[in-house]
Amino acid sequence: MTQIIWNGLFVGSFYALVALGYSMVYGIMKLLNFAHGDLYMVGAFVGFALLTSFSGFTATLSLVALLVVLLLSMVGTGLAGVAIERIAYRPLRNAPRLSLLITAVGASFALEYGMRIVAGPNPQVYPVRLGGSSVHVLGARIGVAQLVLIGVAIALMVALNAMVMRSRQGRAMRAIALDPVASRLMGVDVNRVIARAFFIGSALAGAAGVMAGSYYGSINFLMGFIIGLKAFTAAVIGGIGSFKGAMLGGVVLGLLEAFGTHYLGGQWRDVFAFAFLILFLTVRPTGLLGERVTERV
Amino acid sequence: MTTTKAVRPPNRPAGGGAGDAVKGVLRSRWIGPIGLFAGAVAPILIATPYAMNVMTSALIFVMLAVGLNIVVGQCGLLDLGYAAFFAVGAYTSGILATRLHWPLFATVPAVIVVTVLAGIVVGGPTLRLRSDYLAIVTLGFGEIIRVTANNLDITGGPEGIYGIPSLSVGGVDLGNSVVFYYVVLAIVACAVLGANRLIRSRLGRAWRFIREDEDAAEAMGVHTYRVKMAAYIAGAVWGGLAGVLFGAQLSAISPASFTFLQSALVLMAVVLGGMGSTPGVVIGALFVTMLPEALRGLSDYRYFAFGALLIIVMVLRPQGLWPARTREPERTARRSTRPTPLDSEVSGR
């Protein structure tokens, strides 16, 4: 039982990390960034490339080196996110939402199959594998690596929350979320702030990608698709646009899946998650912590 | 297949030039018959098994695209799990045909019933959601159907169902590839025509109204929920019937045929062709199925190009290659001057 809860919390922290980026982009420009899950995949591959090129160092300093690689991959993925925003989303800023969503699907495909061209169709084995020692808490076996990863995830979330709630940049983001036109009139550089939001959201997804790669050990070019869906599900469950909601939703989804897997079997895990999403949305369309949105006409 | 009559709106100056000529061709009422004729003549020109196979697949894809066009193009509901309905149709008919040995045509009523139910099941709880939530929910539904088909015994698990009989009427086998092509051509032509009649009906105008402004539609007395549900069900039935043809063509189906990629390809056909325009969507579907065959050598770059193309088309030409008219000038003009019995029957209900 404790083991199930622990597994759920662990997976949930990945979901939460990816869901944060979803939620942030959605909150600011009301765009479902379909390619977000694929940025997670890009992050995993950037980390993979860095780790294989530095393989001499990683043998000795695995955890420290991994953190450095994590940071570098976050920067790389963040830049990829900014590039996507610039190429695929910015030209359509005033277009109908449907066309934006379709370019997002296009961006998702371009990332997946672009990575397939670069890295090949076969799964890659991560050079660093976090396994090793574990501690026993309340009857559950908890890996030290898991603890570290959860710690990193929580640190990143706290940092993001502080940034959005306290800093000038964060205030600009919240202002744009409320009313982009008024923000521009008040001297906010809307394009730049949105690009920055994309950078941060993508960097978080990239971090989750590297962490997942080093934990599960194998990555492939389609790994982002399903996690993107799950992260969106998490964001919706928590109330999309709300940071605390994204974190809460991630954890809830992780726990649900852990219990679903335990009682129904692993092959039904995704069915369970999506069925829950559909049912949940019919009962509470704004999510757990979401506010009721009044649509501007 | 024609969407408009080739009547010039009275308020537009009758200038000549190439633009008008193109517009005249695009609006000609002969486009449908010409396309049908081209489809009918094609096997006479090339009848290799490979060509027949590609052309039949393209026709089935046209049917899918026309069905999705009702949902996305007309009603503006983004459905990212359309392959689910395709799968529901293919599996229903496949299971009935292989386990209960029904002839394939006899499964059609059952397929219609099941796809309507599937449309209600997805649409019922979700159509009140806003567009992007709906998109993700349909995507989730697509995954649910695929994973379920992958894990159930009755659907044959990952291997799927094989040995699906080909179409036959009264003991006459229609399995020959050329004969089958003509049967599919006839069915798809009816489907395209049917979709077009729906689009031009009162219901079709309600769909477009919802696409343009849902709140205004609601305020004007359109029962948006019911009308959206109708679009969903129509799309589901078209997709399901395409699934029957698909099973008959390949004689085997497996979950691998109903992935998100398939849904996205149909969506691409609709968007590329021009959302809401029937001839555009048909061209888009042919384009999407024929282009990969033409680019066979580039197989690795195919889906990358696909994604890039989606972005490029959306950025440069958001209305698609062959867009629908956005206004309805002919209809109002015709009605104000010359009310015909047909008009009052179609729109005056």
Amino acid present at B146: R
CB pairs under 8 A between A and B: 129
What ipTM was reported for this prediction?
Answer: 0.81
Please name the residue of chain B whose CA is at the shortest distance from the CA of residue A297.
Answer: B215
Give me the residues paired with residue A125 across strands.
Answer: A218
Q: Is A241 contained in some domain? A: yes
Please name the residue of chain A whose CA is at the shortest distance from the CA of residue B78.
Answer: A98
State the average pLDDT over residues B129-148. Answer: 84
Which residue range forms the structural domain that includes residue A113?
A: 1-283
Amino acid present at B94: G
Q: Do B136 and A92 touch (CB under 8 A)?
A: no
Residues of chain B neighbouring A116 (CB-CB closer than 8 A): 300, 303-304
Q: Do A281 and B150 touch (CB under 8 A)?
A: no
Ranges of H-type helices in chain B = 18-27, 31-45, 49-68, 83-99, 107-126, 131-151, 177-200, 202-212, 214-219, 224-250, 260-273, 278-294, 302-316, 329-337, 341-347
pLDDT of the residue at B48: 81
The residues near B328 (Cβ < 8 Å, ≥ 6 apart) are B205
Q: Do A106 and B304 touch (CB under 8 A)?
A: no
Residues of chain B neighbouring A268 (CB-CB closer than 8 A): 147, 151
Alpha carbon distance B113, B334 (integer Å): 38
pLDDT of the residue at B269: 86
Kindly report the nearest CA distance between residue B349 and chain A, in angstroms. Answer: 30
Alpha carbon distance B121, B123 (integer Å): 6
- For every one of its 297 residues, what pLDDT tens digit does chain A have, with 9 covering 90 and above? 778 888 888 888 888 889 988 888 888 888 888 889 999 999 999 988 888 887 665 555 566 777 888 899 999 999 999 999 999 888 888 777 777 888 888 899 899 989 988 888 888 888 766 656 677 776 777 777 778 778 888 888 888 888 888 888 888 988 888 888 898 898 888 899 999 999 999 999 999 998 888 888 888 888 888 888 888 888 888 887 778 888 888 988 999 888 888 887 777 888 888 888 888 877 777 777 766 554 443
Residues of chain B neighbouring A271 (CB-CB closer than 8 A): 143-144, 147-148
Q: Which of A23, A31, A109 to mutate to test the interface with B (most CBs of B within 10 A)?
A: A109
pTM: 0.80
Query: What are the E-state strand segments in chain A?
Result: 124-125, 134-137, 140-143, 218-219
Alpha carbon distance A185, A205 (integer Å): 32
Q: Which of A102, A253, A264, A270 to mutate to test the interface with B (most CBs of B within 10 A)?
A: A102
Alpha carbon distance A34, A56 (integer Å): 37
Other CB atoms within a 10 A radius of the CB of residue A294 amount to 6
Residues of chain A neighbouring B141 (CB-CB closer than 8 A): 274, 278
Residue A198 near residue A29 (C-beta atoms within 8 A) = no
Closest Cβ–Cβ partner in A102, A111, A270 for B314: A102
Please name the residue of chain A whose CA is at the shortest distance from the CA of residue B302.
Answer: A113
Q: Do A32 and B141 touch (CB under 8 A)?
A: no
Our count of domains for chain A comes to 1
Q: Is A103 contained in some domain? A: yes
Q: Which 3 state secondary structure label does DSSP give B58? A: helix
Tokens of residue B272, six digits: 């590329």
A87-143, pLDDT tens digit by residue?
988 888 877 777 788 888 889 989 998 998 888 888 888 876 665 667 777 677 777
Q: Residue A215 maps to which CATH number? A: 1.10.3470
Kindly report the nearest CA distance between residue A142 and chain B, in angstroms. Answer: 30
Tokens of residue A68, six digits: 């450095």
Q: Do B304 and A281 touch (CB under 8 A)?
A: no
Q: What confidence category does residue B129 fall into, taking pLDDT thresholds of 50, 70 and 90?
A: confident
Please name the residue of chain B whose CA is at the shortest distance from the CA of residue A119.
Answer: B300
Tokens of residue A211, six digits: 């962490």
Q: Is A293 contained in some domain? A: no
Q: Is A65 contained in some domain? A: yes
Give me the residues paired with residue A124 across strands.
Answer: A219
Q: Is A9 contained in some domain? A: yes
Please name the residue of chain B whose CA is at the shortest distance from the CA of residue A280.
Answer: B125
Q: Is A291 contained in some domain? A: no
Q: What is the dihedral of CA A142, A228, B116, B190, to 10 degrees?
A: -150
Please name the residue of chain A whose CA is at the shortest distance from the CA of residue B130.
Answer: A285
Q: Do A106 and B141 touch (CB under 8 A)?
A: no
Q: Is A290 contained in some domain? A: no
Alpha carbon distance B218, B213 (integer Å): 9
Alpha carbon distance A28, A190 (integer Å): 10
CA contacts within 13 A on the Cβ side of B331: 16
Angle at which helices B83-99 and B260-273 pack, to 10 degrees?
130
